C-alpha cells in the first residue's frame, strides 16, 4: 500500500525515468553491435536464434503516448515525428545537457513597411529548414510537358506507363534556396509608423547556423482540388553546400526601426454578437461562442462552428472570456501557480513556463492541467504574461553558431505516391560509403537516390 501511495504521488517521475530508460535501451541497441550481425552469422547455430534487428515497440509506444497521430498505426510524416522526438528529448533534458542543441538555429525575419520603409526585425528558433519547391524553376519544362501529354494519351488508351520512361521535373537546390529567401508580400500589415494598415515585405534569413542542418523539402502539398498530394520531382542536392548568402545581418546602418505601437489594441477584431447569438441558440455556452467568433476573426457562422467542434472539450471553453488586450490587464495576469502542482508537472519533463500556462488554464487543477498540456501541445511554447516568478531553465538549448559550409551525411526518402501511404528508408554516409537502412535490412547502396529524398541532413565542415 505504501508503494502504491508513492506511485500515485510521483507518476510523472516514473514516466520521465521510463523515457530515459527507453532512450538508453534504444541507444545501446543501435551502438553496441549486439544486434547488427551479418545474415550468415545469424543462422550459424540453429539452436541459437539471434535477433535480426531492433523492434523498439516500447520506445514507439512511449513516444506516441497521448499523441493523436503517433499513438496510432496510421501513416506518419517523418518531419513531424522528428520534431516530436526532439520535443520529447527537450522535455526530458531538465537541468541536463540537451543533445538537440546541435539542430537548433535562429531564424531572422525582416519586415519592411512599403510606405514608410521602416523595418522590424524578429527572431525565432527552429530545428529544420523547410524549403519550398518552385515547380516553375524546373530546368526541363519542355520534357516534362511532353511526358505529361504522352501520359494522358496512354491513360486514355488504358495502357500502363513504363517507369523507365518517367520524366520528373529537375529542380536545383539553388532555386529552392532562392524561393525561401525571396521577399514575401504581406497584405493588411499594421504599420506603427503610419498608425494604419499597409503592405509590407518579409524576408527570412538565418541568424545562426547549427552544427547539423536538417533540410526538409516541402514535397507534400495540396493540389488544385485541395486533395493532399506528393510532388514527384528530382532535386539537384550537392554533396557540399555554402549557405553564406542566407546569413542574417540584423539592423543595418541607415535603416529605421518601426516604433513600438498599439497594433494589437488597434487591430483587434470586435466580436460579432449576431453570430454569437446564433451559436448560443444551437445550445453552446455564450462564453464558448465568444471564443469561437474571436478566434475565427468574425469569419462567420461556419468557421466558428468548426472551431467549436475542435475546442469544445478544452478545459477553459466555458470560462469567462475577455478579448486579449481589452480593458487593461488581461485575465489571469495576477495568477500564481500552486507550488506542489507546479513541481509535479515540471518533474514530468515540461518547462516551468509550460506548467504555469497549463495550471493557469485549469485553475491549478493538476489532473486537468496534464490533460490540457497534451491537447494544447501547439500552444505550449507561445509567450504568456503572468505574475508568477519563472526560474531559469536549461531545457531549451542555446543556438550554436559557426561557418555556413556543410556536407551531406544522411537523407530520408519517402517510398510511395501518396501522402497517406508509403514507407520511409534512410541512407547514411559511413566511412565514405552510402549505406541504406530499410527496417532490419542494411546494405551498401551503390547508387543512392539523393535526388528523390524528403529530409536531408548536412553536417558542418
Kindly indicate whether the domain formed by 105-263 is annotated with CATH number 3.30.499.10: no
Residue among 131, 110, 404 nearest 244 (CA): 404
313 pLDDT above the threshold of 90: no
Write down the domain spans for the chain.
2-96, 105-263, 268-379, 406-460
55 pLDDT above the threshold of 50: yes
50 pLDDT above the threshold of 70: no
CB 200 within 8 A of CB 192: no
Chain mean pLDDT for the chain: 81
The 10s digit of each residue's pLDDT in 437-458 is 998 888 999 999 999 999 999 9
Report d(CA 88, CA 91) in Å as an integer: 5
E strands, 17-131, are: 105-113, 119-126, 128-131
Q: Which run of H or E residues covers position 39?
A: helix 39-42
DSSP 359-400: HHHTTT-HHHHHHHHHH-GGGTTS----SS-----SSSPPPP
Report d(CA 244, CA 159) in Å as an integer: 49
Report d(CA 10, CA 21) in Å as an integer: 17
Question: Which carries the bigger pLDDT value, residue 91 or residue 41?
Answer: 91
Report d(CA 256, CA 323) in Å as an integer: 32
Locus of grid cell 510524416: 77
The 10s digit of each residue's pLDDT in 174-224 is 999 999 999 999 888 888 888 888 899 999 999 999 999 999 999 988 777
Question: Looking at the domain covering 268-379, what would its CATH class be?
Answer: mainly alpha
pLDDT at position 6 is: 39
Find all residues with CB under 8 Å of 84, minimum gap 6, and list them: 63, 67, 70
Which CATH number describes the domain made up of 406-460? 2.60.120.1680
pLDDT at position 242 is: 96
The 10s digit of each residue's pLDDT in 264-299 is 444 455 788 888 988 888 888 888 898 888 888 787
CB 138 within 8 A of CB 120: no
Locus of grid cell 467542434: 309
- pLDDT-derived band at 387 (thresholds 50, 70, 90) equals very low
Amino acid at each position: 500500500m505504501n508503494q502504491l501511495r508513492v506511485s500515485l504521488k510521483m507518476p510523472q517521475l516514473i514516466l520521465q525515468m521510463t523515457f530515459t530508460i527507453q532512450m538508453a535501451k534504444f541507444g545501446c541497441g543501435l551502438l553496441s553491435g549486439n544486434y547488427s550481425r551479418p545474415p550468415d552469422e545469424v543462422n550459424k547455430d540453429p539452436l541459437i536464434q539471434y535477433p535480426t534487428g531492433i523492434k523498439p515497440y516500447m520506445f514507439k509506444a512511449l513516444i506516441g503516448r497521448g499523441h493523436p497521430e503517433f499513438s496510432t498505426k496510421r501513416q506518419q510524416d517523418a518531419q513531424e515525428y522528428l520534431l516530436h522526438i526532439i520535443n520529447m528529448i527537450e522535455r526530458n533534458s531538465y537541468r541536463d545537457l540537451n543533445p538537440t542543441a546541435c539542430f537548433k538555429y535562429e531564424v531572422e525575419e525582416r519586415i519592411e513597411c512599403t510606405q514608410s520603409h521602416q523595418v522590424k526585425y524578429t527572431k525565432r528558433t527552429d530545428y529544420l529548414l523547410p524549403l519550398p519547391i518552385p515547380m516553375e524553376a524546373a530546368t526541363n519544362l519542355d520534357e516534362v510537358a511532353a511526358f505529361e501529354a504522352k501520359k494522358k494519351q496512354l491513360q486514355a488508351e488504358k495502357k500502363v506507363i513504363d517507369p523507365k520512361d518517367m520524366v520528373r521535373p529537375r529542380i536545383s537546390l539553388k532555386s529552392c534556396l532562392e524561393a525561401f529567401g525571396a521577399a514575401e508580400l504581406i497584405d493588411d500589415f499594421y504599420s506603427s509608423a503610419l498608425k494604419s494598415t499597409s503592405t509590407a515585405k518579409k524576408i527570412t534569413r538565418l541568424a545562426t547556423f547549427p552544427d547539423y542542418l536538417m533540410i526538409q523539402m516541402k514535397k507534400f502539398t495540396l493540389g488544385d482540388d485541395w486533395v493532399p498530394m506528393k510532388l514527384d520531382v528530382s532535386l539537384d542536392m550537392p554533396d557540399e553546400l555554402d549557405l553564406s548568402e542566407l546569413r542574417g545581418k540584423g539592423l543595418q546602418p541607415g535603416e529605421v526601426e518601426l516604433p513600438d505601437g498599439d497594433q494589437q489594441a488597434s487591430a483587434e477584431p470586435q466580436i460579432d454578437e449576431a453570430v454569437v447569438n446564433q451559436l448560443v441558440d444551437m445550445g453552446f455556452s455564450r462564453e464558448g461562442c465568444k471564443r469561437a467568433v474571436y478566434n475565427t476573426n468574425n469569419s462567420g457562422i461556419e468557421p466558428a462552428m468548426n472551431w467549436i467542434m475542435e475546442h469544445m472539450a478544452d478545459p477553459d471553453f466555458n470560462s469567462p472570456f475577455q478579448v486579449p488586450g481589452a480593458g487593461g490587464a488581461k485575465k489571469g495576469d495576477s495568477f500564481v501557480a500552486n507550488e506542489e502542482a507546479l513541481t509535479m508537472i515540471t518533474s514530468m519533463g515540461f518547462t516551468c513556463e509550460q506548467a504555469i500556462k497549463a495550471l493557469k488554464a485549469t485553475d491549478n487543477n493538476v489532473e486537468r492541467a496534464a490533460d490540457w498540456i497534451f491537447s494544447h501541445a501547439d500552444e505550449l511554447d507561445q509567450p504568456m504574461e503572468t505574475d508568477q516568478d519563472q526560474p531559469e531553465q536549461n531545457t531549451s538549448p542555446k543556438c550554436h553558431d559557426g561557418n555556413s559550409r556543410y556536407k551531406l551525411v544522411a537523407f530520408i526518402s519517402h517510398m510511395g505516391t501518396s501522402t497517406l501511404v508509403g514507407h520511409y528508408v534512410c541512407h547514411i554516409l559511413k566511412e565514405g560509403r552510402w549505406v541504406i537502412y530499410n527496417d532490419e535490412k542494411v546494405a551498401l547502396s551503390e547508387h543512392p537516390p539523393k535526388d528523390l529524398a524528403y529530409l536531408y541532413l548536412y553536417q558542418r565542415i
